[in-house]
Structures are given as C-alpha cells and as structure tokens.
Structure 1
C-alpha cells in the first residue's frame, strides 16, 4: 500500500514516514500544499495523511479540490487546531477521519489500517486462499498450519496480490504501491521478491503471466 504524507513539520513527517515504512507501507512525503495537491491528483495512492495548516495551500482546499475532481482516496487529516468546528470543517470538505496534534502514533496507525480496510470493502483483514491464510492487519502469513516469516517488503508485495486474488497485477503496479517515488533502482527487483515468496510459500503459488504481470493462484 502506498501512502502520501503532506506535512510541513519536517521532523514529524519524517518520523511518521519511518514508522509507517516499518509497518510495510510505501510512503512519500511532501512539505508544501501545492506539491501535495499535485502528487495526490496524479493518483496511485491508497491513503493521504494531510495536515491542515500548510504553506502554498491549506489542507481544507486540497481535500475539497480532490473530492471535486472525483478522487476517492481516503484522507486522514492532522491539525494542531482543536475544536468541534475545525473537525466539522475538515469532514465537510471530504476528509474521512481527523486527528488533533499531539496524537498517539499507535492510534494513527490504527486509523490508517481502518481506513484502508474500509476502502477495500473487506469486513475482515484475513484472507484465506486455499492453504494460504494472510492477515493483513497483523501482517502474518500461514501456509497450512505453518507460519511463514516474511520481511515487510515481502509482505507488501504479497499483499498486492492477495487483495486481488486470481487477477493479473502488473510489475508497474507493484512497484508503484510498494516502493516510493524516489526509488530509481532496477524494476526487476519485483521479480526477486516474487522468487523469494515462491520459495517461502510454494513454487506454484504465484504465476507469471508473460508480458502482463503476476497472478495469485487460488485453486491450489
């Protein structure tokens, strides 16, 4: 899953990015409202963490502009302002949730996960596909009765396939949602992670569809 943080407090933004990256998300960070609106308008993000008080343009306007353009990306607003009118204004412009600074990082992560689950339409974060069971909330994977130990990046690649079982997911889509926009390495890194997942979870779990991408087999 790929997240965009638009926050002008650089220390806070970096701290959030590091924590969410450790949770397995691909995280991009910008510190200016106009740049944040530009990147969010390009699409490709699964969730936006948006401060209200920003240079360039504020979070209310970013949120309202995205909604007016038809973007349905979940938006979690952050602000140092406090009070029910500020919260109401944020929600009225189209935000999905709201946190007032200072906030607990644990609570922020819980809100992020809840918004992502809500967007997927899945009432349960547990996916059972043949012998494979994946808990996307706890980030745990089992093959039969045995739990498989995956790194955060391995899990993130697997998650892109799990949420679309039986569908072809392109290498470009995986790169976009698992690695941030600053990644300039070899795109074949996806093949390396797919190979590792096959070794850990089963050689016939992920099928390569030549010229198109990868598909998680559901009828093993």
Structure 2
C-alpha cells in the first residue's frame, strides 16, 4: 500500500483551512493543521511533512517567523507561503527567509495543488554530483546543502542548489521561464510571477560572490537570462 504524503497547513481562517484540508485530502494527501502560529511551528519542527503551507498573518507568531525558524532547523523542508496580497515586500520577505514558493490570495486551488505537488517532487530529487565547485574559494556539498564561500561557512536550500546545478549543466544563459519549468517544475509559466527567480538569484549572489553587486560568476545577460561562470 502506498503511503500518503503528509502536509501541514498553518492557517487561521476557518473557512480557508477547511477548504484546503478537503482539497488536499481529495488529492490523496494526509493533512495536519494548526490555526496558531506558535503551535504550527511546534508541529512543523516535531513532525515529518512532505510540504508545509504557511499563511503570513497568524496569531502569536507570523508565517515569516515560522519559516525562518524551520530553516534554522532544516534546509530541505519544502515550504510554500500564502500571502494576503501580492506585494513586493511580502514576496521578498518570504523568499529571503527560505520559502521555496509563494501564492497570493485569492488563488486558484488547482494552481496551489500543482505547486505543492511540484515542490514535493523536486524535494525528492538528488544532485548528480556531490560537490559543486564555483571557484577556488567557493564550493558546495550538494547532498548536505552546506559549503564554504571565501572562508565563511554557508547553508543552502535545496532550491538554491538545484538552480546552481542546472545553470552549471547548461553552461549558457538560461531564462527565468526556463528555470521555472526546469527547476521549479512548472508546466506553464504564462501566468507566473518571475520575481521568484530574481529573488533566489539575489540570495545566491550574496552567498557565492565576493561582491554581490558586481557578480563575476552568477551573471545576467540582458534579454537572455542568467549564466553560471565557473572558475
């Protein structure tokens, strides 16, 4: 018998929580839920979840604090955040703290299921090589999601390693749309906000570049996309 994946939903709106619970049970998931931020964090840290869905606005502590605390504990846990509004700052906050993806309310339930499914599928993939060497000062263990950058210890999320690994494999400029399809596993990017990619790139530059404002390795080619230059 197949074991159903378990997701955790932390959402304080009863009607939304009930709808999301029914939605994911219908699609073959086990669902755990909390309406309080602190209790949601405790459950997140105590259990094993295929994905955690976090609302931003919650009682006691907000979704940003929960996301940050989870990332201190695990770099690999898939996290999707639900934002009340598609504001630049909410998106930046969530992704900077380590969320893998976000969706703005009101959202399509079909889109939410697709994104969660994609997150879970990507989280189960392993890198083909155990070490990713950017230059003599920057190297990453793709299995442990840790590394050294200019003599500083670094932690990476699974998504960040997947981006770097894909860019290294391609060795040519890669568009935002291609990254969303190949790394985020989206089937279509027609209605997706590509800021998700830009924010992840900005985070990576802070980790692998000696001067993130003048990148030498993770560079942008106007009109073409991003390329990883090794050496």
TM tier, shorter chain?
Answer: 0.5 to 0.7
Distance 1:108 1:122 in 2: 24
Distance 1:101 1:75 in 2: 16
**1:76-115 equivalence runs, <5 A:** 76-115=80-119
Find 2:73's aligned residue among 69, 73, 98: 69
Q: Does the 8 Å contact 1:3/1:45 carry over to 2?
A: yes
Q: Does the 8 Å contact 2:76/2:123 carry over to 1?
A: no
The one-character-per-residue Cα deviations of 1:164-193 (angstroms, maximum 9, x if unpaired) are xxxxxxxxxxxxxxxxxxxxxxxxxxxxxx
Distance 1:13 1:109 in 2: 14
**1:185-196 equivalence runs, <5 A:** none
- Secondary structure at the counterpart of residue 90 of structure 2: helix
Query: What's the CA shift for 1:102?
Result: 0.1
Q: Does the 8 Å contact 2:38/2:61 carry over to 1?
A: yes
Any unmatched runs of 5+ in structure 2?
A: 128-231
Query: What's the CA shift for 1:29?
Result: 1.2
Find 1:34's aligned residue among 34, 38, 60: 38
RMSD: 1.5
How many residues matched? 123
Distance 1:112 1:74 in 2: 9
**1:50-69 equivalence runs, <5 A:** 50-69=54-73
Find 2:124's aligned residue among 120, 123, 131: 120
Given the superposition, is the C-alpha separation of residues 5 and 71 from structure 1 closer, same or farther in structure 2, using an over 3 Å criterion? Answer: same
Query: What's the CA shift for 1:43?
Result: 2.6
TM-score (norm 2): 0.51
The one-character-per-residue Cα deviations of 1:100-136 (angstroms, maximum 9, x if unpaired) are 000000000000110011101179xxxxxxxxxxxxx
Query: What's the CA shift for 1:85?
Result: 1.9
Name the counterpart of 1:14. 18
Q: Does the 8 Å contact 1:4/1:49 carry over to 2?
A: yes
Bigger relative contact order (CA 8 A; separation at least 6): 1
Q: Does the 8 Å contact 1:75/1:97 carry over to 2?
A: yes
Query: What's the CA shift for 1:47?
Result: 0.5
Query: What's the CA shift for 1:86?
Result: 1.2
Following TM superposition, the consecutive aligned residue runs of length 4 or more in structure 1 with deviations greater than 4 angstroms are none
Name the counterpart of 2:207. none
Query: What's the CA shift for 1:38?
Result: 0.3
Distance 1:91 1:30 in 2: 22
- Secondary structure at the counterpart of residue 29 of structure 1: strand
Q: Does the 8 Å contact 1:6/1:32 carry over to 2?
A: yes
Any unmatched runs of 5+ in structure 1?
A: 124-220
